[in-house]
Chains A and B, each alone.
Chain A
Amino acid sequence: MAKEATAPTLYTVAAPPHWHCGRTVTGVMQQYILALVPAAVMAVVYYGLPALRVMALSCATAVAVEALCCRVMDRESSVDDFHAVLVGLLLAFLLPAMAPWWLVVMGSALAIIIGKMFFGGLGGNPLCPAVVGWAIVALSWKTQADPDAMVLSTMLVNPLTQLKYLGLEAAGQVSLTDMLLGRQLGGLGATQVLALFAGGFYLISRGLLRCYVPLAFLAGVLLAGLAFSLADPGAQPGPLFHLFTGSVVLAAFFLATDPSSSPVTRPGMVAFGLTAGVMTVLIRVYGIYPDGTPFAVLFAALFTPVFDLLRPKPFGAR
């Protein structure tokens, strides 16, 4: 027949829906990295090339280790989705600018291997990979991962350690404006509060980040901080001090919101954010760490399956 002579035109056959919002994993990761650029620039402004060195080394290690993992696991390489770069950058943000190279490599590699690839890659990880990497190196090499011990050639002080060891008065030497602008010692990117706020709100305004976790996290920190400062105004700083110090803002917008380790329902996200926020202040007040934020994020993520039970009744259910 004549029909067989001409090759049939091939059309795409796929399940509905045939439209898509256009948001892809690669696109989202690129936007997240873009949102971190202001903080990275600020970090270089305050700490110079050493900060750039840590960030570059961390990102490069993460990508290389993920590529290697994919090869060992005999599966298609997933480095082209930019998630490894994001993990590397977030880990670098938590480390001191003067961290030794082996610590950065160690943290970045462990973040990818133990934080992500052990669980099958993106989507399977039960905890935020960057925080896992940071927690392992911070507990294993306390001195080298501690900004107070490593960054000596600076006039910046860490308000959290001042508060922990010298009291409220010493902590008061860093004004809130200084904290906002990043003039405080800490993780190289985590302390760039204003830049991180800008990045976070950029993502929210683009619809790439849901506001529930970040706002609940910040609300949790503020509420708990307010409660403690009201209970003991002589020894405890105000809630804004807790908000602008340590890695609270980084955690609220970028660490706690790690998609696969955070809940998916609205009430779950709010409960998750509040838990992590309150836990941050609790660790700061009662714990041995001046800044408990990353640990609070890990703690809350452990309860994500429980928070996911907070889901609405389905349509038509009684």
Chain B
Amino acid sequence: MIDLLGYAAFFLSTALILGIITLGLNLQWGLTGLFNVGIAGFVAIGAYTSAILTTPEAAERVGGFGWPILAGWVAAMAITGLAAGLTGFATLRLKSDYLAITTFGVAVVVQLVTLNAQGLTGGPFGVAFIPRPFASLAETPVAFNFANLAVVAAVTLVVYLALEHLSRSPWGRVLRALREDERAAISLGKSAKSYRIQAFAIGGAVMGLAGAVQAHFIGFIAPNNYLPTLTFQIWAMLMVGGAGSNRGALLGTIVVWAIWVGAGAFSSALVPTDWQARTAALQIVAIGVMLCVILLVRPNGFFGGRRRK
């Protein structure tokens, strides 16, 4: 029973962290209509920024800054926001496909850097000994899990409220007008572009924050955490939930993550070991097909509430 509670806390924490990423994507796509295929890359930038700044000295890479965790998170948001802003600056005056292609490229390059710039990122081995909040509770797993859940939930709540506030603010109304009415975008001209860059940068910062929170939650990061599959899962979560709604984004995340984890548990319990890599592949196929089917038959998702044009 206690184990189950602990696991529930762990599951929810993981889901909420993914939910923060989805919230960031919802600002970029749901509110502003900007297509990001490099989510995993932006999450990785945040995770590595915070990890490098907060970990104790390590022999094989730069480090030993020993920043407090919160400072690491703020830095993660700043650096990721900057990276997203630059991406937007380079592409947002062009057709929307260019942003998609460039974000894809960003993810490829981030993957390259995390794998190969060993002096900075630790290479394939990643970064370990990332300080975890409430590490003193680690002796009693349930308390530790719940303390973590509380931290993650608090961050999620803050991000959620901030994004809700932003989307209702005049700034958010401009973004919505920009996405729904091309004429408004044209009449705003140059400042339309700057609004979009701002939205993309803030969305990126939120993703970076999620990456950082996740890094400190697990205590260890490696390039393999940030493969294109992550990007893909986040998209499925947002589309299931319904792009444009922050509540939908969170609900969609929890539902998709539950399906994903459930399918994984199912296959590891019932499928012979030598077939497990294959069933894992099949899981991704299923999510891919689901994403396409949602686009075809229910483009507004299941929990969006508000209908988008």
Chains A and B are bound partners: no
